[in-house]
Structure 1
């Protein structure tokens, strides 16, 4: 995915496989323009942590996921999942029923 602590936005195809990946940065207006221009409707947030860390979500991860899902809804974009990887361990917000 990314360096430890990094976030990526993945534009997903019809089978929910990543078609394109972009780093999530503070200023994400250019990223939003790309997402809208591509006419995709599903995206995923991918996050990586150091292998020795827990993949369980922190309060900031939950807040980011909720804010992103709310922000995308009026644009007819939907958040398919937020996946946190830490070494071989993985946490999926969708699998945990949080999306």
Structure 2
């Protein structure tokens, strides 16, 4: 479990970094004011939601690994489930702009 936990936390950390990069890539001069898509609006709330949701997912994963190492499987499953839910929310937000 420790090796898997380290890999999981590393993957979540990469996800957070990718979310920060994506949030930094807001449209600037390439925006289309006539578009109804959020990705064409530099002030859309979705740009700010990416790093927040992925950060919550990272915290849930770290908590899940900690619970697993302390032999609390039920708490670990709940924390990991919340991390997966954060990934789903992130995916829904991302896909709604395309």
**Quick check: TM above 0.5?**
no
Structure with the larger helix share: 2
TM-score (norm. length: structure 2): 0.29
Structure with the larger strand share: 1
Which is higher, the Rg of structure 1 or of structure 2?
2
